[in-house]
């Protein structure tokens, strides 16, 4: 099964999230077969990352977006567990600092880009600047509406310079979000993650949905595609994301460079 083809958003498609079932599992079931497939994908990811690091000609950027409790942290923890931390950098984007706000909205994003040979993971991203700022009217429409083209141009420059980009929208239902927030409230080890903002933002569910539909529709391109990942089932979310990353790295086919010395002439003293 090719997960990439199943969940990619076609360029210029007009997205309607109500047509995407967040409970979809494509016939997969939680259990040994799924766990084995995920384990094999993570092992393959480790090997491909090693080759990418050795090659040092290209980079991979993984963007994770979703509403609160969609599973961005969980995806990083479970899917990226097989990657070597030396070649993998995770960046979480919060409210811009005073220094970041004094620059253009892409400045902090560019500074966090992975180097050639690395895998970069963004927990939230530059898309916050066409999501949060739109929903809460932090800037005018004339500002955020220009950013779609600016983002596409930015990502095109990155792709032209060896950065492969995968953007994942972790799609959950409003009922599933409520369930997860309640579970956090009952779990002493996760209560620290709860904030009043999580509950306030639920009032803007339809506004965020519209903002995501526009952002994904306008910014899913051949060189920088968006994927809608059904994420009500955490185990399936992990399976789908891991396989898409592996399928992409397999397509990139990073290769080991030749040795820099003549191995046959090396001698132990």
**CATH number of the domain residue 40 falls in:** 3.40.50.300
93 touches 123 (CB < 8 A): yes
* Number of domains present in the structure of the chain: 1
pLDDT of residue 21: 98
For residue range 137-194, what is the model confidence (pLDDT) as tens digits?
A: 999 999 999 999 999 999 999 999 999 999 999 999 999 999 999 999 998 888 888 8
| 6 in any annotated domain | no
pLDDT of residue 154: 98
| 7 in any annotated domain | no
| 91 in any annotated domain | yes
pLDDT band at 14 (very low <50, low <70, confident <90, very high): very high
- Cα separation, 72 vs 124, in Å, equals 8
pLDDT band at 199 (very low <50, low <70, confident <90, very high): confident
**What is the mean pLDDT of the segment spanning 42-47?**
96
**pLDDT surpassing 80 at residue 253:** yes
| 92 in any annotated domain | yes
pLDDT of residue 195: 82
**Mean of per-residue pLDDT scores for the chain:** 95
pLDDT band at 227 (very low <50, low <70, confident <90, very high): very high
**pLDDT surpassing 80 at residue 216:** yes
| 258 in any annotated domain | no
| 197 in any annotated domain | yes
pLDDT of residue 194: 82
pLDDT of residue 260: 85
**What is the mean pLDDT of the segment spanning 90-109?**
97
Q: Which one, of 136, 132, 126, lies nearest residue 100 by Cα?
A: 126
Residues paired with 164 in a beta bridge = 60
Query: The domain containing residue 174 runs over which residues?
Result: 29-253
**pLDDT surpassing 80 at residue 74:** yes
What CA–CA distances, in Å, run from 262 to 96, 255, 266? 50, 19, 7
| 21 in any annotated domain | no
pLDDT band at 124 (very low <50, low <70, confident <90, very high): very high
pLDDT of residue 12: 81
| 141 in any annotated domain | yes
pLDDT of residue 65: 98
- Cα separation, 230 vs 240, in Å, equals 9
**What is the mean pLDDT of the segment spanning 21-36?**
97
pLDDT band at 196 (very low <50, low <70, confident <90, very high): confident
pLDDT of residue 82: 80
- Cα separation, 85 vs 90, in Å, equals 9
pLDDT of residue 137: 97
**What is the mean pLDDT of the segment spanning 203-207?**
97
Name 70's Cβ contacts closer than 8 Å, sequence gap at least 6. Answer: 170, 171, 172, 177, 231
**What is the mean pLDDT of the segment spanning 255-264?**
88
């Amino acid at each position: 099964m090719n997960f990439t083809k199943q969940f990619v958003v076609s360029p210029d498609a007009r997205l309607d999230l109500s047509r995407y079932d967040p409970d979809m599992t494509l016939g997969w079931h939680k259990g040994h077969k799924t766990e084995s497939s995920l384990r094999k994908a993570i092992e393959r990811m480790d090997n491909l990352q090693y080759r990418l690091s050795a090659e040092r000609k290209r980079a991979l950027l993984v963007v994770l977006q979703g509403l609160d409790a969609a599973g961005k942290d969980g995806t990083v923890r479970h899917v990226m567990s097989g990657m070597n931390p030396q070649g993998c950098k995770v960046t979480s984007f919060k409210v811009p600092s005073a220094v970041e706000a004094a620059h253009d909205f892409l400045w902090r994003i560019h500074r966090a880009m992975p180097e050639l040979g690395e895998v970069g993971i963004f927990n939230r991203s530059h898309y916050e600047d066409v999501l949060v700022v739109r929903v809460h009217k932090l800037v005018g429409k004339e500002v955020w509406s220009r950013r779609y083209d600016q983002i596409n141009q930015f990502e095109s420059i990155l792709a032209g310079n060896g950065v492969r980009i995968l953007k994942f929208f972790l799609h959950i239902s409003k009922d599933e979000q409520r369930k997860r927030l309640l579970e956090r409230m009952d779990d002493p080890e996760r209560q620290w993650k709860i904030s009043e903002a999580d509950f306030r933002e639920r009032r803007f569910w339809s506004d965020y949905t519209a903002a995501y539909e526009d952002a994904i529709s306008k910014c899913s391109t051949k060189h920088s595609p968006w994927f809608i990942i059904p994420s009500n089932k955490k185990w399936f979310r992990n399976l789908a994301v891991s396989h898409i990353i592996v399928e992409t790295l397999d397509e990139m086919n990073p290769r080991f460079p030749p040795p820099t010395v003549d191995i046959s002439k090396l001698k132990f003293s």
